[in-house]
Amino acid sequence: MRVVVAPDSFKGSVDAAGAAAAIACGWSSIRPGDEVVTVPLADGGEGTLAVIASAVPGGVVHDVPGCTGPDGRPALGRWLSLPGGAAVVELAQVSGLALMTSPDPLGASTRGLGEVIAAALDAGSRSLTIALGGSASTDGGAGALSALGLVLRDAAGAVLPDGGGALPRLETADLTGLRQAPAGGVTLLTDVTNPLLGAYGAAGVYGPQKGASADDTALLEAGLARYAQVLGGSTEVSGAGAAGGAGFGFMLAWGATATPGAAHIATLVGLSGLLAGADVLITGEGRFDATSLQGKVVGEALRFAGETNGAGVANRSENPNEARGAGTARLRTAVVAGAIPDPGPLEERGVWHCALVDLAGEARALADPEHWLAEAGARAARALDVGPDPLAR
């Protein structure tokens, strides 16, 4: 039997490669004769750079020391050069929420992202992919664009400090010194479709997740609205609200185009081809919730499985465990997550599932995630009906 293990990272716990290896180890401990293929995935958030680096031959990761972290402390930036002059940067790596020692929803900035992009452009990169996800800030990408030459001033002519909390004071924006986008264009990998403003916008939905109070959220919303008013451009474009509005900033300033990160990366690593000859898909993430089937890694992996089973591209509600056709074995699916508060959507699709907190409790699962991921992999091997192990006696 062939098993494909294709999880996202378990944020703050273990990266995608480590999660895949642990689950695979657990499966093989029960069924050593099966072929187990590990395929780490990402959706544009934390770990995207590493996943793309491992998937594309010839990629080289470059360090950029002394970048500005989201809270102003120095941070090590990184970017990935690919054959043909393409560059990939990851917002979460240098401007991510995980880098904050304490929440600062009004002052956190994306400046470090712009510094990494500048390094990639200085090296001669001809196209750019920006993985947007896991942002600590709600600054509309103003910090990143300021590092690239945008100048934002208040009514007295003073340059605005970094952070979304300063944007309500914005009076003028000078783009004359802004660096040109690379000739090959800019692609944004996003895991959300939110507009910039409103109840479903960058501040309204994600501000509280970054520590914003109700008053902070209102201030951030006002700042993004002022930012859009001064710079111009549509605030309703899908993905404009990604990464605290950084999607909007790069769309407006550089004509960047947004694409769903999970689907892009799944295609890049050849997931469809791997599943075509597989018997089991195991995917996973840190927390399976209402957003998991809406463009996240788990949802895209199950969608690819559904296509392999003949469920079709459009109908995501169909059971991905339905038979692929007469005389053809079905592809079985499983989800392993740190927590699964509501397993109903998985049960409706016939997807086997396992939550680490149910196996070990939250504290033990976080203390040794690889152990409990291996245990989940072993349980999947026992639970899924995939035929006899060729090495079983």
**pLDDT for position 155:** 97
Q: Which residue has the tokens 């998985």?
A: 346
Distance of CA 77 to the CA centre of its chain: 17
Q: Using one digit for the tens of pLDDT, what is the confidence trace for 140-178?
A: 999 999 999 999 999 999 999 999 999 999 999 999 999
Of 232-246, 323-337, 364-378, least confident by mean pLDDT is 323-337
Is 180 in a helix, a strand, or coil?
Answer: coil
Q: Using one digit for the tens of pLDDT, what is the confidence trace for 267-316?
A: 999 999 999 989 999 999 999 998 899 889 999 999 999 988 864 333 33
**pLDDT for position 146:** 98
**pLDDT for position 191:** 87
Q: Using one digit for the tens of pLDDT, what is the confidence trace for 379-389?
A: 999 999 777 77
pLDDT-derived band at 317 (thresholds 50, 70, 90) equals very low
**pLDDT for position 249:** 97
Q: Using one digit for the tens of pLDDT, what is the confidence trace for 95-132?
A: 999 999 999 999 999 999 999 999 999 999 999 999 99
Q: Is pLDDT of 392 > 50?
A: yes
User: Are 35 and 1 contacting, i.e. CB atoms less than 8 angstroms apart?
Assistant: yes
What percentage of the chain exceeds 90 in pLDDT?
89
User: Are 162 and 113 contacting, i.e. CB atoms less than 8 angstroms apart?
Assistant: no
**pLDDT for position 329:** 56
CB atoms within 10 A of CB 306: 24
Q: What residue spans of the chain are helical by DSSP H? A: 16-30, 48-55, 91-95, 111-122, 142-147, 202-206, 214-231, 242-254, 261-268, 271-276, 297-308, 344-348, 356-360, 362-367, 369-383
**pLDDT for position 390:** 67
**pLDDT for position 12:** 81
In the DSSP assignment, the letter for residue 111 is H
**pLDDT for position 308:** 82
Mean of per-residue pLDDT scores for the chain: 92
pLDDT-derived band at 73 (thresholds 50, 70, 90) equals very high
Q: Using one digit for the tens of pLDDT, what is the confidence trace for 150-159?
A: 999 999 999 9
Domains detected in the chain: 2-41+270-383 (3.40.50.10350), 48-261 (3.90.1510.10)
User: Are 325 and 344 contacting, i.e. CB atoms less than 8 angstroms apart?
Assistant: no
